[in-house]
């Protein structure tokens, strides 16, 4: 063997040893084997007014905490730790005072921000959630009313993993069309842009133990980094429609002389076009949606449903317009919040006009006019043609 | 033995492409005034085109002195000039390798494992690169072919997976900066393709047409770099421009069905790209200093270079100030202009002078 081959082989062996030592799965550089970690599942942040510190409530999954009996396997697998700190990272680090294991953030599902902090401003408290290397921008964010602690502590009817349930509530918008999904990325993106605002669902905890539940109460609309107002849950769908966030939702259409028809929206697309007309900002909202009818409660069984399709569609379009208009008036004309990207569209489409008004955008936005163009189409009416009953 | 040190033009451009793209993936200069808007994409593209134009004297020189490279051409005029050129290019490549190791360290210890020692990563990557240098240019070029496929797949995966989240209105509209902003950004963008200098050294080892491949290579860089800048901006808006490693952060958001952690896969591929980049620079350093000290000192040159790169590379990544030191940016910009434009132009002029002298004697 010549000198060159010996050198090459030595380097190969050294590299192999280095790889084996340094990259052996979970027991890597940080000495953080799975057993030594504390998996954060849900994280709540409130303000301890007396101390002037952050008060953090964390739902954790502790791999060392196993179920002793079969009965216990149905109980929640998580527990709650409460800590305080001058900063979020200090409060997270303080968890080790109660459980001597390293908190691991990457698995965290939901962040709940206390309503009080949200009213004072969230810029500084959200910094940790995008600066720290373990945090993920895709984490769901909720506002806890009146505080975050109650939400994180709730066992949601003693489910096995309450944090997972909480995450599903935060994502429920894609099923019910009333809860806007908000992630850390959405917040940071809006906070980095001085002309765009954002909204976060507000949740409330009720009951204890098996009766405990968390429900969405309203949507908090932010101006800058503070809450500017709330959109009631019943009007929330208008916000999602305007923001093109509707995946599925059910409209119950009341038609005089016919009855109630449930329209299950299966596909919806919203387009916002902003232009200037007579020196006024006009926002044209185009909505196209497709729906199926899963249920019809007709008043008179002599009514032929197929003959009523057009009127159901028309009524649905009117309801969509009504909900969007309510949401637009409340969020844009009253609160002066741009959660629909109107300013950004002006920046592109009406550059000169935008340059003149951008410094006064907070006031100008209140004068934006909305025009709606909605097309709703029924694709299917289910397996039954007409309703036959003996009710009359 | 000869085949070990000979590659095709295509293989060389693959090596250089990986090197250039790695710079874009692991580096972010968030002080750039145009970041966050279309202007940044446009000015980066303009910078690449300008760099391609600046490389024309070098391409002309390589055409006139086929198979010689810049060192050979300079040596053909005067031996001292050849040695000086070899030394300057050698030092330039050492500097580039040091900066690459520093950036890689900084990337890994910021994103992947902040509690780890940057020393570990420097040593590991340089050790791997030393092995590659001993394996020869052809071996590295073949590895680069595989790495190119992995990198392309990784970039396209992130780009396509994020399409539903693109929001073009989130990107600041074009022509939003001042003339000073454009000049500053253009000057910075100009120094971002130091790989052109590698063509000057690798040319004697390359079979095939250099010039045709050059423009395809620059076109590929232009497209890929634009994509790497565009994707994070379209997904994160101006917030994306404020992140240290925007494309990596975009990959942490991307999902493919139920697969969520695409970023882990990306990093794996990018580490292989970094290995190719540092190995290539070490090989170039070896080629330059071999011209000065002779081939018999090859092993010593490789080992000393490795020690310098790992050691100084660590210093460049130890603190945030050392990574973003403005003096380093200026050194980088001036030295890049010198090796891709000024020196090749001087040697090119020398070839004309020599031709005139020959004609006079005739």
The 10 Å CB-count burial string (b at 16+, else e) for A188-208 is bbbbbbebbbbbbbbbbbeee
Which CATH number is B313's domain given?
1.20.1740.10
What the block records as the tokens of B236 is 């994160």
Q: Is residue A145 part of a domain?
A: yes
- The answer to whether the CB of B57 falls within 8 A of the CB of B342 is no
* Structural domain ending residue among the three candidates A202, A219, A238: A238
* Residues on chain A touching B37 (C-beta within 8 angstroms): none
Looking at the structure, tell me whether residues A277 and A157 fall in a common domain: no
Q: Is residue A111 part of a domain?
A: yes
The pairing of strands A249-255 and A259-277 is: antiparallel
Looking at the structure, tell me whether residues A233 and A271 fall in a common domain: no
Q: What is the pLDDT of residues A111-128, one digit of tens each?
A: 999 999 999 999 988 888
Omega within 30 of 0 (cis) for the link into A146: yes
Residue B80 CB neighbour total at 10 angstroms: 10
The answer to whether the CB atoms of B112 and A193 lie below 8 A apart is no
pLDDT value of residue A36: 76
Looking at the structure, tell me whether residues A252 and A234 fall in a common domain: no
Domain range for A287: 248-392
- Please tell me the distance in Å from A86's CA to the nearest CA on chain B: 22
- Name which of A9-13, A71-75, B162-166, B278-282 the model is least confident about: A71-75
pLDDT value of residue A260: 85
Q: Is residue A311 part of a domain?
A: yes
What the block records as the tokens of B64 is 């006139």
Looking at the structure, tell me whether residues A294 and A231 fall in a common domain: no
* Residues on chain B touching A12 (C-beta within 8 angstroms): 131
pLDDT value of residue B359: 61
For A197: left if phi > 0, alpha if psi spans -120 to 50, otherwise beta; the answer is: beta
Comparing B198 with A254, the larger pLDDT belongs to B198
**Beta carbon pairs, A and B, within 8 Å:** 71
* Structural domain ending residue among the three candidates A200, A216, A238: A238
Q: Is residue A62 part of a domain?
A: yes
> Looking at the predicted structure, is the pLDDT value of residue B29 above 60?
no
Looking at the structure, tell me whether residues A92 and A211 fall in a common domain: yes
Task: Give chain B's domain count.
Answer: 1
> Looking at the predicted structure, is the pLDDT value of residue B292 above 50?
yes
Beta bridge partners of A297: A260
Under the banding of pLDDT at 50, 70 and 90, the label for residue A29 is: very low
> Looking at the predicted structure, is the pLDDT value of residue B137 above 60?
yes
Count CA within 13 A, CB hemisphere, residue A271: 7
Q: Is residue A5 part of a domain?
A: no
The ipTM of this complex is 0.84
Looking at the structure, tell me whether residues A57 and A199 fall in a common domain: yes
Which CATH number is A332's domain given?
3.30.300.210
Domain range for B167: 2-361
The answer to whether the CB atoms of B128 and A347 lie below 8 A apart is no
Q: How far apart are CA B60 and CA B155, in angstroms?
A: 34
Report the first-to-last Cα separation within chain B, whole angstroms: 41
- The answer to whether the CB of A324 falls within 8 A of the CB of A243 is no
Q: Is residue A20 part of a domain?
A: no
Looking at the structure, tell me whether residues A268 and A388 fall in a common domain: yes
The answer to whether the CB atoms of B110 and A344 lie below 8 A apart is no
Q: What is the pLDDT of residues A259-275, one digit of tens each?
A: 888 889 999 999 999 99
Looking at the structure, tell me whether residues A329 and A184 fall in a common domain: no
Looking at the structure, tell me whether residues A61 and A155 fall in a common domain: yes
Q: Hey, which of A287-296, A318-327, B20-29, B64-73 has the most confident mean pLDDT? A: A318-327
Looking at the structure, tell me whether residues A257 and A221 fall in a common domain: no
pLDDT value of residue B326: 74
Task: Give chain A's domain count.
Answer: 2
Looking at the structure, tell me whether residues A91 and A159 fall in a common domain: yes
pLDDT value of residue A173: 86
> Looking at the predicted structure, is the pLDDT value of residue B285 above 80?
yes
Q: Is residue A70 part of a domain?
A: yes
* Structural domain ending residue among the three candidates A213, A238, A263: A238
The answer to whether the CB atoms of A192 and B237 lie below 8 A apart is yes
Q: How far apart are CA B250 and CA B235, in angstroms?
A: 7
The answer to whether the CB atoms of B116 and A29 lie below 8 A apart is yes
- The answer to whether the CB of A179 falls within 8 A of the CB of A172 is yes
- The answer to whether the CB of B198 falls within 8 A of the CB of A370 is no
Looking at the structure, tell me whether residues A228 and A263 fall in a common domain: no
What the block records as the tokens of A23 is 């990259």
CA A263 → CA A99, A251, A314, B341, distances in Å? 51, 5, 12, 68
pLDDT value of residue B257: 77
pLDDT value of residue A71: 57
* Residues on chain B touching A14 (C-beta within 8 angstroms): 127
Beta bridge partners of A215: A204
pLDDT value of residue A176: 86
Beta bridge partners of A65: none
């Amino acid at each position: 063997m010549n000198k060159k081959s010996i050198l090459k082989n030595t380097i190969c062996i050294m590299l192999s040893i280095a790889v084996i030592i340094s990259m052996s799965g979970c027991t890597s550089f940080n000495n953080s084997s799975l057993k030594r970690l504390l998996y954060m599942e849900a994280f709540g942040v409130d303000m301890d007014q007396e101390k002037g510190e952050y008060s953090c409530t964390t739902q954790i999954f502790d791999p060392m905490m196993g179920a002793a009996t079969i009965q216990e396997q149905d109980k929640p697998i998580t527990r709650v730790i409460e800590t305080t700190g001058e900063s979020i990272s200090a409060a997270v680090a303080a968890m080790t005072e109660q459980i001597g294991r390293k908190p691991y953030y990457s698995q965290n599902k939901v962040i709940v921000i206390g309503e009080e902090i949200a009213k004072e401003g969230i810029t500084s408290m959200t910094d940790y959630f995008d600066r720290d290397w373990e945090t993920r921008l895709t984490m769901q964010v909720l506002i806890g009313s009146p505080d975050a602690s109650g939400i994180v502590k709730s066992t949601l009817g003693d489910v096995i993993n309450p944090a997972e349930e909480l995450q599903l509530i935060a994502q429920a918008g894609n099923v019910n069309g009333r809860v806007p999904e908000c992630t850390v990325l959405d917040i940071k993106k809006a906070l980095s842009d001085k002309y765009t605002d954002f909204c976060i669902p507000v949740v409330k905890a009720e009951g204890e133990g098996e009766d405990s539940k968390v429900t969405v109460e309203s949507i908090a609309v932010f101006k800058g980094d503070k809450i500017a107002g709330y959109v009631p849950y019943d009007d929330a769908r208008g916000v999602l429609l305007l923001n093109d966030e509707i995946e599925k939702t059910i409209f119950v259409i009341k038609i005089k002389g016919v009855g109630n028809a449930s329209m299950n929206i299966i596909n919806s697309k919203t387009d916002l076009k902003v232009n200037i007309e007579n020196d006024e900002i006009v926002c044209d909202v185009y909505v196209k949606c497709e729906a199926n009818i899963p249920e019809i409660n007709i008043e008179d069984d002599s009514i032929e449903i197929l003959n009523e399709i057009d009127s159901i569609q028309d009524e649905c379009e009117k309801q969509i317009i009504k909900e969007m208009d309510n949401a637009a008036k409340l969020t844009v004309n009253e609160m002066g919040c741009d959660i629909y990207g109107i300013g950004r569209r002006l920046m592109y489409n009406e550059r000169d006009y935008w340059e003149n008004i951008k410094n006064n955008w907070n006031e100008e936005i209140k004068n934006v006019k909305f025009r709606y163009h909605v097309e709703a189409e029924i694709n299917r009416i289910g397996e039954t043609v007409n309703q036959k009953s003996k009710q009359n | 033995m000869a085949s070990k040190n000979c590659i095709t033009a295509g293989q060389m451009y693959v090596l250089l492409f990986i090197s250039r793209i790695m710079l874009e993936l692991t580096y972010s200069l968030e002080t750039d005034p145009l970041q966050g808007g279309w202007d940044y994409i446009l000015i980066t593209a303009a910078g690449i085109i300008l760099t391609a134009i600046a490389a024309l004297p070098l391409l002309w020189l390589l055409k006139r002195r086929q198979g010689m490279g810049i060192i050979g051409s300079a040596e053909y005029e005067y031996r001292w000039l050849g040695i000086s050129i070899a030394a300057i290019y050698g030092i330039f490549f050492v500097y580039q390798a040091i900066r690459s190791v520093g950036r890689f360290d900084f990337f890994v210890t910021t994103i992947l494992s902040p509690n780890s020692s940057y020393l570990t990563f420097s040593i590991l990557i340089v050790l791997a690169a030393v092995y590659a240098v001993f394996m020869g240019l052809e071996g590295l070029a073949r590895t680069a072919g595989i790495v190119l496929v992995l990198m392309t797949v990784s970039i396209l995966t992130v780009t396509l997976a994020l399409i539903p989240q693109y929001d073009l209105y989130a990107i600041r509209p074009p022509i939003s900066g001042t003339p000073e902003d454009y000049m500053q950004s253009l000057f910075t963008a100009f120094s971002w393709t130091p790989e052109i200098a590698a063509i000057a050294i690798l040319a004697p080892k390359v079979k095939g047409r250099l010039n045709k491949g050059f423009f395809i290579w620059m076109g590929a860089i232009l497209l890929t770099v634009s994509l790497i800048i565009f994707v994070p901006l379209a997904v994160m808006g101006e917030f994306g421009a404020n992140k240290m490693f925007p494309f990596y952060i975009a990959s942490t958001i991307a999902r493919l069905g139920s697969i969520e952690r695409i970023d882990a896969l990306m990093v794996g591929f990018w580490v292989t790209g970094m290995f190719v980049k540092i190995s290539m620079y070490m090989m170039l350093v070896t080629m330059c200093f071999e011209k000065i000290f002779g081939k018999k000192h090859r092993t010593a040159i490789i080992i000393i270079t490795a020690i310098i790169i790992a050691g100084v590379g660590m210093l460049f990544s130890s603190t945030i100030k050392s990574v973003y030191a403005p003096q380093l940016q200026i050194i980088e910009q001036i030295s890049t202009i010198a090796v891709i434009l000024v020196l090749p132009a001087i040697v090119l002029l020398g070839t004309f002078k020599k031709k005139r002298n020959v004609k006079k004697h005739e």
